[in-house]
Amino acid sequence: MRKPLIAGNWKLNNTIAEASQLAEALKTELGNNTNTDIVIAPVFTALASVTHICASSSIQVAGQNCHCVDSGAFTGEVSAPLLVDAGCSHVILGHSERRQFFGETDNFVNAKTHAAINSGLTAIVCLGETLEQRESGEMFDVITNQLSLALNEITPAQTENLVIAYEPIWAIGTGKTATSEEAAEVHAFIRGLLSGLFNHEVAEATRIIYGGSVKPNNIGALMAEADIDGALVGGASLTASDFIAIVNYPKPLKVVQK
């Protein structure tokens, strides 16, 4: 059984005081929850405060990005070992906003994935198609390329520290969620790709989470799909009550077909 993982991507929001207040509110409601892996990703400047608050709880903290080199003359960057030093256990890599606004390529995401896993972080590697790619029938090719390049030379053993986030770009921040069927189709496809890139065991063990306008009112249907193992939540993770409701989604029994 794959343990559900719900991650909140706070993006470029919240002062240290605001981030601390949000982390405290989440800790009060979710801090003892061990049924779901709960991860929050504040801005770098709030990491120290948020990791301090979450240290005595089951809430884990992620960086929103890291560089592929550990240290040196890379002005403005933060490395994977420094995220570990700040108390992080996870890092989000290859988010579509990084790709779109900061020119990150699949190869760069691959280098970062190696750096993150080698430092002991769990890499949440994001991928997903644009609406144009979906409508022109290129979606499966795009996903295949993104996944195989991002995971180039990652070993089966390293996948223990890997989570894949499927985030259709047209659903991010738009209020347009993929239907649970649309998402489930791509999740099943990605699991098949993982089986081909690694093996059946890795494909069965690796969590594939969905991102793109996840809200309290759609998380239940998404999580009811056998291949959807959690969510990467943007906008709704900035409001404590919404994120808490997402983590505490109603849990019907899943029917797993063999």
Q: Could you tell me how many residues of this chain bind ligand PGA (CB under 6 A)?
A: 13
Cα pseudo-dihedral 172, 177, 181, 185, rounded to 10: -10
The 135-154 contact track toward ligand PGA, x by CB under 6 A, reads --------------------
Per-residue CA distances from 245 to 12, 95, 121, 122 (Å)? 22, 24, 27, 25
Q: Which of 95, 97, 104, 187 is catalytic?
A: 95
The CB-of-174 to ligand PGA minimum distance in angstroms stands at 7
Q: Does 172 bind ligand PGA (CB under 6 A)?
A: yes
Q: What is the largest CA-CA distance in the chain?
A: 52
97-104 contact pairs (CB < 8 A, 24+): 97/11, 97/172, 98/65, 100/169
Active site residue 95: yes
Cα–Cα distance measured from residue 39 to residue 7, given in angstroms and rounded to the nearest whole number: 4
The interface mask with ligand PGA, positions 211-250, x = CB under 6 A, is: xxxx-----------------xxxxx--------------
Which residue is listed with tokens 């290129």?
Answer: 138
Q: Active site includes 167?
A: yes
Please identify the residue of the shown chain whose CB is closest to the bound ligand PGA.
Answer: 234
> Which residues are known catalytic residues?
95, 167
What is the binding site for ligand PGA (CB under 6 A)? Answer: 9, 167, 172-173, 211-214, 232-236
